Structure 1
Amino acid sequence: MDALEPVSAARCFGGTQHVFRHQSRATGTPMRFAAFVPPQAAAGPVPVLWFLAGLTCTEENFTVKAGAQRVAAELGLMLVAPDTSPRGEGVPDDPDGAYDFGLGAGFYLDATEAPWSTHYRMESYVVEELSELVAAALPAHPARQGIMGHSMGGHGALTLALRHPDRYRSVSAFAPIASPMRCPWGEKALSGYLGPDRAAWRGHDACALIEDGARLPALLVDQGTADGFLETQLRPELLEAACAAAGIPLTLRRQAGYDHSYFFIASFVEDHLRWHAATLAT
């Protein structure tokens, strides 16, 4: 297990907001992540809530913009926010420099196509390597873990929870890419990382996973009605239909007038933290 290198630490609501760096075996690159450790961790391991950020983001966006630490400190939740892709020398990027593929756009899967397959292994990184690293280095309860995310990270939270039901006991999302097989962002990413065979894409599409038998005990999703990506990229109605057909309890809250920004996330993150805490309490 590679050692964590502290980047920063700041006292926050009685706990500590950390940023760490380490050399990743999964991606073959240096990686950074943020971890808020609540004050309750002084007495023993605490539940962990993972946050997966969206396109163009790093571990910093949620940590700095969402305002989640106050409620996490009250509830005794550890918040862990990984980066959104590998970075560094030799890591390929979108050849056209677009924001929706390559750096900052790992889509939380393990790529199978060259040149992406060498470094773009974000599913293995988040689910396996970083989980093990956090459990070894921080007072994290290994059996009380939930996951949430925003946009591309919402897609990641849904698919990782569906693909690894024994890992995550609770899942929620803000404006997730509900079905990447059926939107421009997702079609570009899945074809680039996984190749042209759409059958291979189904394992990384929340709606397709549900259609193919994967299940969640319950799901909370918030979606702003003024989100500029709503109709073309996010398509929550597809997730709504898939959950209804599968009998998955979905709370889909369409929030009038809210857009895709962190102002939207900050407005409702307390609800998500309390929802996860209720499941992770025991």
Structure 2
Amino acid sequence: MEKPSEISSNKMFGGFNRRYKHTSSTLGCSMTFSIYFPPSLTSSQKLPVLYWLSGLTCNDENFIIKSGAQRAAASEGVALVAPDTSPRGLNVEGEADNWDFGVGAGFYLNATQEKWKNWRMYDYVINELPKVLAENFEQLDTSRASISGHSMGGHGALTIYLKNPDKYKSVSAFAPIINPINCPWGQKAFSNYLGSNKPDWEEYDATCLVEKGKKVSTTILIDQGEDDKFLHDQLLPKNFEEACKKQGVPLVLRLQPGYDHSYFFIATFIEDHIRHHAQALKSP
């Protein structure tokens, strides 16, 4: 496997934000990812990993630049790993025609339609990226991992966790697209990536997965701004809350008055999420 090459490095809160690129065999293109390495207490200390999945139009840098998560990550000794949100540079016809589909809009699924066969962000996040990290960054302990994300990335974090609870210690999300089969963003993405078979869609819908009996061992944490313009037609958190109540899935859904869908909202509550994950990552 090709070793990732470093693109940039910036010191922050005693640790370093470092950005890398590598050739992805899963996606068939060059991909970038960012890591925040907190300051280590000892040279032998291995760092647990929190994966962050970003939303529509984002890449691996948005969270690292805008969230301010590094302060809490440095304090808690947690490495932050942010992958890109889709394959890039493949020049598939129509891949950049819309901001909510194609480039920057991978939806963290494995596409089944031939045209979009490279859109396999689900496999990339759960298989290839952890392998790249484990083989190239000996200071990271990829066996201790949690996952979080925003909007499309919140959808990705929740579905990935629900389908792979053995791989992650905890999950959280900001304003996730939580019932995508019932919203315009999800219907557009799923019909193009997955075709017309609705049961295939349900495999990438957190609300449907809970309704089908997917269980978790730790409490799911979700923050949602009440002034988010996408709340009522795209995000649908109440549907997920109802499913969790019926199935006995532990959920803390916090509706935050006055907050919108932006990184101002994320930056306000990110420390709570880092500590939520740090507690789970440090548990035996």
TM over 0.5: yes
Deviation of the 1:94 alpha carbon? 4.0
Structure 1, residues 37-61: CA drift from partner, whole Å, max 9, x if none? 1112733211100000000000010
Structure 1, residues 219-239: CA drift from partner, whole Å, max 9, x if none? 000000000000000010011
Task: State the percentage of identical aligned residues.
Answer: 50
Structure 2 counterparts to residues 172-251 of structure 1, below 5 A? 172-217=172-217, 218-251=219-252
Deviation of the 1:264 alpha carbon? 0.2
**Corresponding residue SS for 2:16:** strand
Equivalence for 2:257:
256
CA distance in 2, matches of 1:168, 1:91: 33
Structure 1, residues 168-207: CA drift from partner, whole Å, max 9, x if none? 1100000000110010000110111000010111110001
* 1:93 and 1:101 in contact (8 A); partners too: no
Task: Say if 1:92 and 1:36 are closer, same or farther in 2 by CA, change over 3 A.
Answer: farther
CA distance in 2, matches of 1:61, 1:133: 21
**Corresponding residue SS for 1:40:** coil
| 1:239 maps to amino acid | F
Structure 2 counterparts to residues 1-282 of structure 1, below 5 A? 1-40=1-40, 42-94=43-95, 97-117=97-117, 119-138=118-137, 139-217=139-217, 218-282=219-283
CA distance in 2, matches of 1:136, 1:81: 17
Gap regions ≥5 residues in structure 2: none
Task: Say if 1:56 and 1:71 are closer, same or farther in 2 by CA, change over 3 A.
Answer: same
Task: Say if 1:222 and 1:231 are closer, same or farther in 2 by CA, change over 3 A.
Answer: same
| TM score, norm. by length of structure 1 | 0.97
CA distance in 1, matches of 2:271, 2:196: 40
Gap regions ≥5 residues in structure 1: none
* 1:75 and 1:274 in contact (8 A); partners too: yes
* 2:133 and 2:142 in contact (8 A); partners too: no
* 1:22 and 1:30 in contact (8 A); partners too: yes
Task: Say if 1:239 and 1:68 are closer, same or farther in 2 by CA, change over 3 A.
Answer: same
CA distance in 1, matches of 2:126, 2:166: 11
RMSD over aligned Cα, in angstroms? 1.1
More displaced 10-residue stretch of structure 1: 71-80 or 7-16? 7-16
- Paired positions, count: 280
| TM score, norm. by length of structure 2 | 0.96
CA distance in 1, matches of 2:113, 2:8: 35
* 1:148 and 1:154 in contact (8 A); partners too: yes
Task: Say if 1:92 and 1:213 are closer, same or farther in 2 by CA, change over 3 A.
Answer: farther
